Structure 1
Amino acid sequence: MSQSYYWEQANRKILAKSLSELCYEQALSARQELDKSYVVKLKSGVSYEFTARLTIWDWLQIDEDTIQRNQGDEELVADDAAQFFIDAAEDLKITASTLGNLLHELANTIASDVAILEKREDQAAETMAKFTDEQLQCYLDGHPKAIVNKGRIGWGAQEFKAYGTESGEYVRFLWLAVRRDLTVNGHSEDWNWQQLLEESLSTNQMQSLEAICRDKKINWREFIPLPVHPWQWQHHIRQHYAQLLSRGDIILLGEFGDEYLPQVSLRTFSNRSRPQALHVKLPLTVLNTSCYRGIPGKYMQCGPSLSQWMQELCDRDENLSARGTGILQEVAGLHVPHLHHEQVKGTPYRYREMLGATWRQSPASHCSEGERHLLMAALLQKDSSGKSIAAVLINSSGLSIEKWLEYLFDSTVVPLYHLLSRYGIGLVAHSQNLTLVLKEDRVTRVLLKDFQGDLRLAKGDFPERSDIPSSALAVLDQLPPNYIIHDLFTGHFVTVLRYLSSQLMLELNFSETKFYSVLAQVLRSYQKKVMKENAKMAERFQCFDVFRAHIERVCINRVRLSQGYDDSAERPVPIVGGDLENPLWLSEQKPTKGESKNHTISPVEV
């Protein structure tokens, strides 16, 4: 296929995604014309027509090949996503500055998508389903909800090729020695800094590093070893930390150690030659998927104790241990505050997250004989023919669709809901934060990760979590239950299941009402069992009511459009649109309710 083919294909995909997500977030209005035909009329005089199916989530599943751009009497095939945003700028209420930056992110995203489409062209879903987790992540489209999900502002073509996940290129870290008293750090009792070094370096490499340390008179009682991404070093650390470097408080040791593969999150790396070795998460000061991908220092001291406590919680809790729920523990964290920015109240957050690292357990270290792990995002991935990895796994498991989903929901949703209702712990469990463990292609358990900002606590009396580490309690956000429940509703149902249910409907003709009926049955069965053991849990289930009729529509793309690209002291926070009918509630009503119907999706003020 030619480059122009892939460019047009990438544009159509992101155009369909933009129309569907912006209509879902009620930034645009889609009116149904005929049976499956919709039109979005814009103030610019341009309209976009397409064929789509309205899903149970009040979200349009658009056939990208049917999108047509109409201007006056002229009807054109729509294959220019940038032109769409120019056409819709007045409707989206975005400034010229915001639009310019959005087009920058869009251009980067499309360039990356073109590379992925080309890479995936000859890979059938059946083949990709057999890839290792690490290998498969190089083929994934990324967050389905974020329109420009590979913006990577700060990188050019060379960096995309050298460090982008889709390139499949390996990276070797640079290593620094940082004076211990200038860091914020923590590690579990089972690990020390020498062991962390050994996780990344061979024996020969360790000997070479030790020789350099002797030559530079580095005493590890006074210094701590710290890996740094080579791009981050060249573009930020050399300049921003020049004072500490000149004083010898930070010392560059050079490039050492194993090769690492960037995962789909871009800043987390898996060890190429030793899959069971710790993953390493490093800051990258690029704007990607809504924010700069730094590492906040406030979690470094509590991360190891919090994740260890979470694993102990999973081990002692009967409902979690019975399901094999596990934690990819953050065994160590290290942050080097900036001398000057730390003194500036309200300085852009990216300047406070530039230098540090987190070491986290690998999923491979949690798998036994006959098991394998897979990022949940992989379920949503389709090949060039439209076949998904989820469908392949269902077919190869030998189970019915219903039974396969029961395994999935009992292994993933039940633990998330149990943590929420029993302990008041909310996890933003999007598809890149959940690692599935499979046996014979059915999901048997889940591994949870990423508690730096994606774990929050519900306010209230939860004696079951009274032994949570005080260091974690001091930094974790605590919000009312009606906010925390969105870590499940929005973080998982909307961000993951919305796409899975619509895909199975399209591909396997498995109705969405049936999909959420299976989920409702699994949750009802769980509730019944728990209340039989502890009647007081009925109050918690009422407090965290996943079966309520309506839920709030949380919007992430509108945040970027309304906030623009100015620097801020805090990361962007989603906004709320109009209410949605809850698919779990709908699934327990009459069988026909919630299926596709004539509808107009209208914009609202927020």
Structure 2
Amino acid sequence: MTTELMTDAAATAASTTTAVSAESRTVDIRALDLDRDAKNIHVWLTHPRAHYWQMTGLDESGVCEYLGGVQNSADDNGWVGSVDGIDCFYVETYLPSTLIPGDVVPTGPEDIGMHLLVAPPDGDGVRGLTNRIMAEVIDFCLRPIEHGGRGGRRVIVEPDVRNTAILEKNRAAGFNPVSEATIMMGEERKRALISICTHEDFESSELVGLLNREDVEAGVPATGGVPIAADERPSPDLAVPETYSHLNPDTFAVAQRHLVAKALSEFAHERLIAPVRATGPNAGSDDWELKVGEVASKDAADTVTYTFSARVLPLEHWVIDEASITRRRGDTQLDLDAQELVVELQDALGIPENLMSTYLEELASTLASSAFKLAGEVKGHRPDSTDLLTADFQTTEAAMTEGHPGFIANNGRIGFSLSDYRKWAPENGQTTRIEWVAASRKHSHLSVGVGLDEAAHCEWALSAEERELFDSRIRSAGRNPEDFHLLPVHPWQADHRLAITFAADIARGDLLPLGAGLDEHQPQQSLRTFFNHSRADAPYVKVALAVQNMGFLRGLSPKYMRDTPAINDWIAELVGTDPAFGDAGFRVLRERTALGYTGDVYHRTQETNPHRKMLAALWRENPLGVIEPGQKAVTMAALLHRDHRGVAFASELIRASGLSPEDWVRSYLRAYLQPLVHALLAHDLVFMPHGENLILILDNHVVTGAFMKDIGEEVAVLGHRELPDDVERIRALVPGDEKALSVFTDMFDGVLRHLGGILDSDGVLGAQKFWALVAEVLDRYETEHPELARGLAGDVDLRAERFAHSCLNRLQLRNTVQMVDIGNQAESLLYAGTMRNPVAR
């Protein structure tokens, strides 16, 4: 079986230019004739450009043997194509299930796998000819058999992820990447990007216009065949389009039940609602009820009652049995509906009327996302928690389903269409090519960290091919590359903002759109950050994205970008020179370079505005280059992940590790809690340590270290220690009890409360024992560092009896558009009294 779609000859043939038009040529495809075709195909397969087919070393008899196997196979077929009567390309169609594992992409008998080999050019080529060939081959695969095609429902390809030329051809033909997987090709392996093209995808692609379709309206197939009589035309498909298949009643009911359970749990935790013990002869000790709607109506018949079973663990963590939840109005049972619940609770939740619909829309988006992910899991398109034990870093990143564990509306993404969601939502795991724009140097600022200059930054941030490509595009526009910085832009941002919001900047030449880069990137859970799949040493890139998500428009400030590398260097130096961090395996991923554009009119208004944060980027170190062989990187958010079966990844890790649950949790807390406590007590330094902001290092399924990321925007020094001038903006002076909230709120309440609840619910480790282990870590730290046990100023007490109950959902409910003032976050917080500290002395 072949191993690649197309040789690099495709790129060459497409780029050569003559006056001859590819559209005017006649293209034919016929069945492979071994005697007639073996010699030609041997020349094509053994050309250096065909190295992805892995047959460059075969002699002619070897190629004959290979082609004979294809010809005699029940699952494979060979085809030879000609242009104006000259044979110049080879096509293989095959049954995808023989090559692509079913757990990667489930396939059916009407799916067609396809490989394409275009002959190396002989002299000057024909401009666009490879595109024309590609279009004809896809049409051939999808056209009905009775009209000379292969009758495919979908065409599936699996190009090598390194073959950027064919990846671009596939994109132009309408292929959508669905999964990256390792595929066995005989005894060889390759990392493939599985991509699918349907009739609809192809018909809306860039290449479909290259077909000769003058007679299509009369029912003539695009290449050969006979006209289709009007009464033979297929009747319209009356089924709901597959695009909306996840929005079916059964799947959505599961998503609704899960979100209602989470809403009841978190609203009760934040004391926005107060469930009471259920009464009656059949009520158990864990049964609760909540009456809503009484404020809106004095008629008891309008009151809605929720009943459910729940246990309340430390930190007022409500573990609700989702299956037990019922909703009734009088004696009538009602369906569970998260949006209806919020409407019923509007007065209790305190949502301003002018922002109510925005919050409801974020809930709708969260539900739709949950249903989409659930549908994929049920169909086997997504890994379960057991699969994740052996999954790679980016597979795990894309497998997450929960988002932030505390927020109810945590997947709002207002601004994304359904097609945007499918392309750029992190949980879909798709790769994309980032758009780039040349930004005038006089209106942009590049900041570089210690040890870097602009040339080193460009070599790190872009491949040599990309730098050459963009320089040529700038010169072709009559401009000098030396006058610009190269700024990455999210594809959504480029489509929705660049040519509209910044139309004047483009018109006067301060911004020069350059199109897509060559490297393949995968969006991360933080939505606007991308991981580079094309270059092993490449950094993450974080860009602005004017999409409303979880209480913020996800912009990126050029003002903040100026100091970001300096702040990261200072933090990295502090962490790297303190052995307490090294002993815990704790490191930071530096944001080493940053770039922002400020030439727009929005930067000349009297007050700041979201439009000032739409064109900026930063580049962050990649952890995979520094972990040891045999170690595995995984987002910390994975520890709070449950799959569609209800199986928790954390519980699976503990079982697979061979350690006792106590020892496993101790190792995790030493890598996560202990260094962050040390940062606070020894340095007055706090991070934003939620699940998406840490990458854990696993050795044999045990957490042995951690990388802290997202430094520039989410780090603070809470004391009077001396700081360099370009780091001073991270200082925030607060009293000791507020310092302690960086542990109590961000770690205890934001992460450990949920992990302890998962392990308790799974019967792996009881909640009381879990919190005893947390106390054990604090005791050990106090023993090892008695002089730091209460911080530099002696005003921090992590073993206090109670602490202020800072509430995240209250922030979002108060202002769904901007939860907090980034410049004064402490003053923006909302509290609901105090909570008992589970590790109090």
The TM-score, its normalising length taken from structure 1, stands at: 0.90
Residues 307-316 or 472-481, more deviating: 472-481
- Cα pair 1:338 1:351 within 8 Å, conserved: no
Asked if 1:81 corresponds to 2:338, the answer is yes
Q: Any residues of structure 2 matched to 1:278-357 within 5 Å, and which?
A: 278-337=539-598, 339-348=600-609, 350-357=610-617
For 2:789 and 2:829, how far apart are their aligned partners in 1?
A: 30
Residues 258-294 of structure 1: CA distance to partner in whole angstroms, max 9, x if unpaired? 0100011110100123344200001111111111111
In structure 1, the residue matched to 2:834 is 579
475 and 242 in structure 1: CA distance in 2 versus 1, 3 angstrom threshold: farther
SS in 2 for 1:226: strand
CA drift of 1:62 comes to 1.0
Residues 273-332 of structure 1: CA distance to partner in whole angstroms, max 9, x if unpaired? 334420000111111111111112232122112212222212211211222311100011
- Cα pair 2:540 2:620 within 8 Å, conserved: yes
Asked if 1:519 corresponds to 2:774, the answer is yes
In structure 1, the residue matched to 2:753 is 498
314 and 384 in structure 1: CA distance in 2 versus 1, 3 angstrom threshold: same
Q: Any residues of structure 2 matched to 1:99-110 within 5 Å, and which?
A: 99-110=356-367
- Cα pair 2:475 2:481 within 8 Å, conserved: no
Residues 205-245 of structure 1: CA distance to partner in whole angstroms, max 9, x if unpaired? 44332322332354444321111112101211222222221
In structure 2, the residue matched to 1:72 is 330
SS in 1 for 2:311: strand
Asked if 1:249 corresponds to 2:506, the answer is no
Q: Any residues of structure 2 matched to 1:231-250 within 5 Å, and which?
A: 231-250=492-511
For 2:307 and 2:532, how far apart are their aligned partners in 1?
A: 47
SS in 2 for 1:580: strand
Residue correspondences, number: 576
In structure 1, the residue matched to 2:318 is 60
For 1:57 and 1:451, how far apart are their aligned partners in 2?
A: 28
Asked if 1:23 corresponds to 2:268, the answer is yes
232 and 219 in structure 1: CA distance in 2 versus 1, 3 angstrom threshold: same
500 and 567 in structure 1: CA distance in 2 versus 1, 3 angstrom threshold: closer
In structure 1, the residue matched to 2:385 is 125
454 and 201 in structure 1: CA distance in 2 versus 1, 3 angstrom threshold: closer
SS in 2 for 1:373: strand
SS in 2 for 1:383: coil
- Cα pair 2:423 2:430 within 8 Å, conserved: yes
237 and 487 in structure 1: CA distance in 2 versus 1, 3 angstrom threshold: farther
366 and 525 in structure 1: CA distance in 2 versus 1, 3 angstrom threshold: same
- Cα pair 1:456 1:484 within 8 Å, conserved: no
For 1:202 and 1:157, how far apart are their aligned partners in 2?
A: 31
For 2:820 and 2:270, how far apart are their aligned partners in 1?
A: 23
SS in 2 for 1:49: strand
Instruction: Give the AA of the match of 1:451.
Output: I
Identity %: 28
CA drift of 1:405 comes to 0.9
Residues 456-489 of structure 1: CA distance to partner in whole angstroms, max 9, x if unpaired? 12134x3xxx3x4321113544433322322222
For 2:398 and 2:598, how far apart are their aligned partners in 1?
A: 32
Instruction: Give the AA of the match of 2:683.
Output: Y
380 and 536 in structure 1: CA distance in 2 versus 1, 3 angstrom threshold: closer
Structure showing greater relative contact order (alpha-carbon pairs closer than 8 Å, 6 or more residues apart): 1
Residues 428-469 of structure 1: CA distance to partner in whole angstroms, max 9, x if unpaired? 211111111111111111111112331112134x3xxx3x43
In structure 2, the residue matched to 1:549 is 801
In structure 2, the residue matched to 1:32 is 277
CA drift of 1:518 comes to 0.9
For 1:145 and 1:152, how far apart are their aligned partners in 2?
A: 17
The TM-score, its normalising length taken from structure 2, stands at: 0.66
For 2:501 and 2:733, how far apart are their aligned partners in 1?
A: 33
136 and 564 in structure 1: CA distance in 2 versus 1, 3 angstrom threshold: closer
Instruction: Give the AA of the match of 1:39.
Output: E
Q: Any residues of structure 2 matched to 1:245-284 within 5 Å, and which?
A: 245-284=506-545
Residues 381-437 of structure 1: CA distance to partner in whole angstroms, max 9, x if unpaired? 112222111111111111111111111111111110111011101112111111111
For 1:494 and 1:219, how far apart are their aligned partners in 2?
A: 53
505 and 536 in structure 1: CA distance in 2 versus 1, 3 angstrom threshold: closer
Residues 41-50 or 183-192, more deviating: 183-192
Residues 15-52 of structure 1: CA distance to partner in whole angstroms, max 9, x if unpaired? 11111111111111111224111111112511211111
SS in 2 for 1:285: coil
SS in 1 for 2:534: coil
In structure 2, the residue matched to 1:593 is none
SS in 2 for 1:53: strand
**Match for 1:136 among 373, 381, 396?**
396
For 2:736 and 2:605, how far apart are their aligned partners in 1?
A: 33
Q: Any residues of structure 2 matched to 1:115-264 within 5 Å, and which?
A: 115-121=372-378, 122=380, 123-140=383-400, 141-199=402-460, 201-264=462-525
Instruction: Give the AA of the match of 2:473.
Output: I
Residues 88-97 or 40-49, more deviating: 88-97
- Cα pair 2:585 2:705 within 8 Å, conserved: yes
Asked if 1:382 corresponds to 2:642, the answer is yes
CA drift of 1:347 comes to 4.2
For 1:63 and 1:374, how far apart are their aligned partners in 2?
A: 28
4 and 186 in structure 1: CA distance in 2 versus 1, 3 angstrom threshold: same
Instruction: Give the AA of the match of 2:810.
Output: R
Instruction: Give the AA of the match of 1:507.
Output: D
CA drift of 1:567 comes to 10
For 2:483 and 2:510, how far apart are their aligned partners in 1?
A: 10
For 2:494 and 2:758, how far apart are their aligned partners in 1?
A: 42
Q: Which runs of 5+ in 1 are unaligned?
A: 589-606
- Cα pair 2:590 2:620 within 8 Å, conserved: yes
CA drift of 1:566 comes to 7.8
SS in 2 for 1:261: strand
SS in 1 for 2:777: helix
For 1:457 and 1:430, how far apart are their aligned partners in 2?
A: 18
In structure 1, the residue matched to 2:189 is none
For 2:310 and 2:677, how far apart are their aligned partners in 1?
A: 32
SS in 2 for 1:422: helix
In structure 2, the residue matched to 1:598 is none
CA drift of 1:541 comes to 8.4
For 2:253 and 2:348, how far apart are their aligned partners in 1?
A: 25
SS in 2 for 1:351: helix
188 and 574 in structure 1: CA distance in 2 versus 1, 3 angstrom threshold: same
For 1:100 and 1:521, how far apart are their aligned partners in 2?
A: 46
In structure 2, the residue matched to 1:94 is 351
- Cα pair 2:275 2:288 within 8 Å, conserved: yes
For 1:359 and 1:399, how far apart are their aligned partners in 2?
A: 37
- Cα pair 2:820 2:829 within 8 Å, conserved: no
SS in 1 for 2:485: strand
Residues 482-515 of structure 1: CA distance to partner in whole angstroms, max 9, x if unpaired? 2232222211211111100000001034111111
For 2:664 and 2:774, how far apart are their aligned partners in 1?
A: 11
For 2:307 and 2:712, how far apart are their aligned partners in 1?
A: 42
CA drift of 1:247 comes to 1.5
Q: Which runs of 5+ in 2 are unaligned?
A: 1-244, 279-283, 297-302
For 2:287 and 2:599, how far apart are their aligned partners in 1?
A: 55
297 and 484 in structure 1: CA distance in 2 versus 1, 3 angstrom threshold: farther
